[in-house]
Structure formats: structure tokens, C-alpha cells
A = this chain, B = another copy of it.
Amino acid sequence: MAKARTQRPPQLQSAVDEIVGELSAVERFGKLANHVEGLGDIETGRFGIAVITANGKLVQAGEADHAFPLQSISKVFALTLALKAFGDDIFKRVGREPSGDPFNSIVDLERQKGIPRNPFINSGALVVCDILLDRTKEKRDPDTVRDFLIAETGEKAFGTETGIIRDDGKSSGFGNRAHANLAKFFDNLHHDVEAVMKRYVEQCAICLSCRQLALAGRYLMRGGREPDSDDARLARRVNALMMTCGMYDGAGDFASRIGLPAKSGVGGGILAIAPGIASIAVWSPSLDDKGNSILGSMALERLSEKMGWSVFG
């Protein structure tokens, strides 16, 4: 499946260095996600990037070792655990179509009688957490997103953003409880709302650095090695969902500009996958009005262009 290519791509390290240089000159703009306590004291304009290639090479720059809360990026790993445990059966309880509405909109959940549009909007992630509460009884795989991340990265532990745990009892937590209760009203949440919320909030609060996140994403890059394997099939499914639903209501714009499956979080991180080529993590706290990291998106756009990594040609 080699793309014919008439130009020689640039070296990855020099591409990354150029990007960091460019971004350092960018005017600081955007806004912090104002509903996440514990992020309020992070300055805008900060930036980190880490890239791991298929042959294991690590390139990083900026604050690549600064740990930040995963927030919605954790939904990728929770979905992975659910697919590993139950396969495509989970799609009876959560769809895989873009929503056309903001990530926290409850409209679709009512219209579709408790079946969330996809696993990356909040209601979908809550249903996935509910599914995972069943799963832990089986013990075939890591129990939680935290365990999975430890296994994938080889780290011993990760920090927790306690502000996110505290914030759960405040406004954004009530929005998620509205979704969870509505799913339960439609019999699509089997455990107690508070048990599901606890699981959900815990995974959102896990703190990783760009380097660690890029390591954690390797399984999504590696699928192509044995395209008929279960792992490859799983990676394709997750990558496809990241492409169509991963960037909130900006998925189409992101696909058009960057051309890589990706998932962002309001903690400022983005995980992007160049299938068969690289696992990429960027972080910068300022968000655009869709909730995606501004400098992070810009860095991925430049990297995709420089390296010719878009899956779209």
C-alpha cells in the first residue's frame, strides 16, 4: 500500500523543530474551557509535542513531559477496553455516527431513545463506562483506563487532576448526570448513576504527558502490520470513530485540514494517529470555540502537511 511519491519527505525531527519555532511566534488567543476547575492557573501559549514512529523512534519538543488531564481523550481508551471485552455488541447500546450537535447536547439522546450517537459525546462515554462496569467482573484484561495506560506505556502510575474530581459535584457534573439519568430512563444504563459517574470522572482526571500519551496510542498506529488480526480490526474501528466523531463539532474541518484520526480533550491535549506511521500527542491549553486545542490543531496541521501524512492523499 505504498503511496507513490515524487518528493522526499522532510526529516521528522526537523519538521517538529520547525513547528515549535513557528508556534512560539503565534499570538496567544482563545480561551480556557471555563467549566474545568484546576485548569484556571495554566497559562495560554504553552505547548508540547511527542511523536512515536512505527519503527519505535521518539521525537519530542516543547513541554513534552508536562502532565495534563486526559479529559475526553480517555474516551478512546475506554472504548478500546469495551471493544476488547464485548466486540461490536457494544454498538447496540451506542451508535457510531457523528452527532451534528455539541458534545454535551442532550437532544439526540432523547430523539434516539437513550442510544447515544457515538462513544465520544458525553452520553456515549457514560454508556461505555456503564458497559465497563459489567466487564470488570471478567478480568481478562486491564480493569480500568488507568490500568490499560500503565500497561501500554510501561509507567508505574499516573497523577490525578483533583480539581476535576471536585468539579464533578458542580455544574458540569450536573450536565453529565442529566445525560446519565436520561439514558437510565431509557434502560440504557444498568448501574447506579453515581457509580458510572465515578468511573467516568476518574478516567477524565488521569494526567499524562505528551510522551506518555504518544506511547499509549501506539496500538492504534500498529494495526496495519497484520490487517486481518483482531488488534488491527479494533484499531481500524477506533481510528474510524476518531476521524468521524473525535473532534466534537469540528470533525469535518479537522479531517479536511489535518486528515488524521484524532481525539481532543478540554485539558488541551490531542491524540492523533497516522495509521502505520506514527502516534502523535500534542498539548496546549488554549481552546477554540469547539473545545479543541488551538496550538495543538495548528501543530498537527503543519506536521501532516510537512510529512505528507494525511490519510486522504
Q: How large is the interface on A (under 10, 10 to 19, 20 to 34, 35 or more residues)?
A: 35 or more
* Contact of A106 with B100 in the complex, beta carbons under 8 Å: no
* Contact of A2 with B2 in the complex, beta carbons under 8 Å: yes
Within the complex, which residue of B5, B98, B184, B310 is in contact with A251, where a contact is CB–CB below 8 Å?
A: B98
Among the 9-residue stretches A21-29, A148-156, A157-165, A171-179, the one with 4 or more Cβ atoms under 8 Å from chain B is A171-179
A1-23 contacts to B, CB under 8 A, are 1-7, 9
Set of chain B residues within 8 Å of A180, measured between Cβ atoms? 178
Set of chain B residues within 8 Å of A259, measured between Cβ atoms? 236, 239-240
CA distance A55 to B4 in the complex (A): 9
Answer yes or no: A42 CB below 8 A from chain B CBs.
no
Nearest Cβ in chain B — how far from A224, in angstroms? 4
Answer yes or no: A118 CB below 8 A from chain B CBs.
yes
Answer yes or no: A74 CB below 8 A from chain B CBs.
no
Across the interface, name the chain B residue whose C-beta is closest to A238: B312
CA distance A111 to B105 in the complex (A): 9
A202-233 contacts to B, CB under 8 A, are 220-228, 232
Answer yes or no: A308 CB below 8 A from chain B CBs.
yes
A/B interface sample: 20 pairs, CB < 8 A: A1-B9, A1-B308, A2-B2, A4-B276, A5-B227, A97-B100, A100-B101, A107-B110, A171-B187, A177-B193, A178-B181, A224-B313, A227-B305, A227-B308, A227-B313, A232-B313, A239-B259, A240-B256, A245-B252, A275-B311
